[in-house]
Copies of this chain bind each other. A is one copy, B any other.
Amino acid sequence: MNSKPFVGTSIPSRSLEVLRAIVSDYIETSEPIGSKTLATRYGFGVSAATIRNEMAFLEDEELIVAPHTSSGRVPTDKGYRLFVDRLNEVKLLSQAEKLAIESFMTGSADLDEVLSGAVQTLAQLTNQVAMVQYPSLGRAKIKAIELVPINETRTLVVLVSDNDRVQQHMVNAHQMLSHDDIAQLRAKLNSLLVHHSFAVAITKLSEFTGTVSAHLQEAAKAISEAVHQMVDANRQEKIILAGTANLARNSPIGNLGELLDALEQQVVMMRLIAEMNTDVDGVGLLIGKENNLELLSQTSVLVSNYEKPGSETAKVAVLGPTRMDYAHHITAVRAVASYLTKTLGS
């Protein structure tokens, strides 16, 4: 159901040219375009009448459509698809754009910061909504658990996984904890969980309360819960996004409210992105109704993979109206993904 390469009647090369012109023009002007304009504005060596014939053919193939009798044509989802699949010239990023990416990516060893920098850059680059999926910890293992006492009853539980992702969670033990208590808890916790995968850890965790001194039961339970939550939070996907304002600006899409809602809820987007396949060059694209969500029938979603050593691959994505600048955005999203891979690799 994903990215379906175009099959069917093969398209004569001039028809393809015409389609290309239509798509480009529509992307730029967002207005239906007719044979005459097309013939003059683009340097086909033929008359408008000939273009009309071509257009009739393209319409038969359902690559373009006329919003109403006797008005210009607009690409269909299928039209965009063919356009993209046969995209040969890839728009290069401008020097300024490259700079923007690099400057956003510098410094910071902190995963959160890197990702949020990346997603903002991408949103600015494309003027669309940008999303980045957190690297899943899938097969990651627990490397260490630290307990940092904050005050008499509160403790910060820090969980480090072997791909160096760090999470923390505050715990209220509801009882006083001495230094020795903390040490005991830490030791038991680590000997129990370290080197185990997240999946295993979650089962082992149930033994934890049993292994600690009787007077620490309360605290152990609280800590155990915190760890559980963190592990869970990790198996759960998570995305961060930026540029939602662009949605409102760009496109008078009907269901803007619902769309913003869905973005805020995250869950729809998480599933969508997770399920999207990418082709050989690491880019995936769903155009309009290709994703089966009514909600997104007027939008396209573009994803690319990035890698963080030790994690499964994760994705960056761009969401915008079907009439978006595919050529440009594809390079942008790919560039950000590759910078991300590079930055996280070091």
Contact = CB atoms under 8 A, between A and B. Distances in A.
Interface of A: 109-111, 143-144, 146, 148, 150-151, 154, 156, 158, 160, 164, 166, 168-172, 242-246, 248-249, 256-261, 263-264
Contacts of A264: 242-245
Contacts of A164: 150-151, 154
Contact of A166 (B156, B172, B242, B258): B156
A260 B248 CA distance: 8
Given A109-B171, A148-B158, A168-B168, 16 more contacts: A109-B170, A143-B150, A146-B148, A148-B148, A150-B164, A156-B166, A158-B158, A166-B168, A242-B264, A244-B244, A244-B264, A245-B259, A245-B260, A245-B264, A248-B256, A248-B257
Given A244-B260, A245-B261, A264-B242, A109 B154 contact: yes
B245 A248 contact: no
A89 B264 CA distance: 34
Nearest to A151: B164
List 4 A-B pairs, minimum CB-CB distance, nearest first. A245-B260, A249-B257, A109-B172, A245-B261
A166 B160 contact: no
Contacts of A156: 158, 160, 166
A271 B124 CA distance: 24
A257 B171 CA distance: 40
* Most interface-central of A143, A144, A154, A248 (chain B CB within 10 A): A248
Contacts of A243: 264
